[in-house]
Amino acid sequence: MTYALIRKIKKYKDRHGKLRVYHRATGIAIDQKKFPIKSVEFFVEFDRITREHTPLPTEKDTLGHLVEQYQKSADFIDKQPRTQSDYMKLMKYLEPAYTLHMPDISRGVVMKIRDRARETRTDHFANYLMRFMSLLFNWAKDRGLIDTNPAEGIKSIKRAKDAPRANRPWTRAEMQAVIENARWGVKEVLALCMYAGLRKGDALAASKTIYNGHTIEVVTQKTGRRVKMPAPVALKFILDSAPAHPAITIAANADGKPWKDNGFNSAWKKLRAKLEAQGSIEEGLTIHGLRHTVATMLREAGVSKELRADFLGHSSTMADWYSRDADMSEKMRDVVEIFDTTLSDSGE
């Protein structure tokens, strides 16, 4: 191994004597089982990480330089990991435009970027990209790096009137059909989303420590909001009945390991396709739609907007920020009782 490469990796033995190797510039771990150090496979993997994850060289006054500066800022670093990950995907999409000089980026150029995103991705992605670009340019404008925000005031793409509703609420019959037919490993994730209103990412990452047999306590990845509540009856029944497995997470895949996002998505799509073919559910069910379902049920039951936000872990005001560590379990008890009653009234 050359001296130049040695300087570009970080290696040490952990307390168990296991060799750990990292790509120094990005901090990405290099699996020593798959890519043993000094092997041909190791050099190939090192080169792949370098090419795919090392930021492109950028000149000052370019979009790429602006993105680079934003990534180093506290505004980006302080965001929740999920938000950082979402923003990184948008930055990756913008890479072909990194060489554009900021004075040359007009409103028309931004509109072309939006329209291209709409053609190659989706309306939702294009709108999200515009919100990010406006945020980025406002950040730069506030720091005197640019004079104007060329993305300011660009309207979101409207959903076509005949387009199916994204993340529509589930019907009670659909909830019952899915939860009854889901296999263990998938069932626990769906139950956390269905009965506790968690986002899929929070449900997949939920460790066994969040449930003590009576209450659920989660810090949401997206907002960093702490949610503590008594476990709804339906959720408690499923978690108490779940078979044991060695993973630290509540839900595990068939190998007894924590789910990876792609693996769970594949299992969910197979279940959904099976139930659609049987006619047990209609087309268009999404996991995120369960948050809409919970919110709709609580609203129909007369739960206030503030309590619905607490239940779902929303956070949008300074009042939320100052009360972020408050124990809401007593207040949530009444909400959960209403939720349990609503579910039981539907025959579940």
Supply the angle between the helices 329-345 and 305-312 in degrees, to the nearest 10: 100
Assigned token pair, 327: 């124990």
* 152 has a pLDDT exceeding 70: yes
Burial of 286 (0-12, 13-18, 19+ CB in 10 A): middle
pLDDT at residue 56, rounded to an integer:
56
Same domain, 105 and 209: no
* 4-22 average pLDDT score: 78
Least confident of 55-64, 276-285, 323-332: 323-332
Query: Which of 92, 121, 142 is the endpoint of a domain?
Result: 142
Q: pTM score > 0.75 for this model?
A: no
The verdict on 117 and 186 lying in the same domain is no
Q: Are residues 122 and 249 in the same domain?
A: no
**165 in helix, strand or coil?**
coil
63: exposed, middle or buried (C-beta count within 10 Å: 0-12, 13-18, 19+)? buried
Helix (H, G, I), strand (E, B) or coil at 65: helix
310, with CB counted inside 10 A (0-12, 13-18, 19+), is buried
Q: How confident is the model at residue 177 (pLDDT cuts 50, 70, 90)?
A: very high
Looking at the structure, tell me whether residues 255 and 277 fall in a common domain: yes
Does the residue 311 lie in any domain? yes
Is 151 part of a structural domain of the chain?
no
92 within a domain of the structure (yes/no): yes
| Predicted pLDDT at 276 | 94
| Same domain, residue pair 190 and 328 | yes
* Domain co-membership, 181 together with 324: yes
Residue 10 DSSP class: E
Domain membership of residue 167 (yes or no) is no
More confident residue, 341 or 102: 102
* 80 and 46 in a common domain: no
Chosen domain end from 17, 34, 53: 53
How many CB atoms neighbour CB 34 within 10 A? 10
Residue 235 has pLDDT above 70, yes or no: yes
pLDDT digits (tens, 9 = 90+) for 66-81: 999 999 999 998 887 7
pLDDT in tens, 111-131: 999 999 999 998 889 999 999
The lowest-confidence range among 207-216, 217-226, 328-337 is 328-337
CATH number at residue 177: 1.10.443.10
The domain total for the chain is: 3
Are 29 and 69 within one domain?
Answer: no
Q: Are residues 309 and 252 in the same domain?
A: yes
Residue 165 included in any domain: no
* Residue 162 located in a structural domain: no
Residues 269 and 292 in one domain: yes
Beta strand segments in 14-150, E: 19-23, 28-29
List, as one string, the DSSP characters of 205-225: H-BGGGB-SSEEEEE-TTT--
- Verify that 31 and 99 share a domain, yes or no: no
- Kindly report the average pLDDT of the chain as a whole number: 84
Domain ranges, residue 21: 3-53
Query: Is residue 334 assigned to a domain?
Result: yes
Q: Looking at the structure, tell me whether residues 197 and 322 fall in a common domain.
A: yes
Residue written as token pair 């968690």:
198
- Do the domain assignments include residue 22? yes
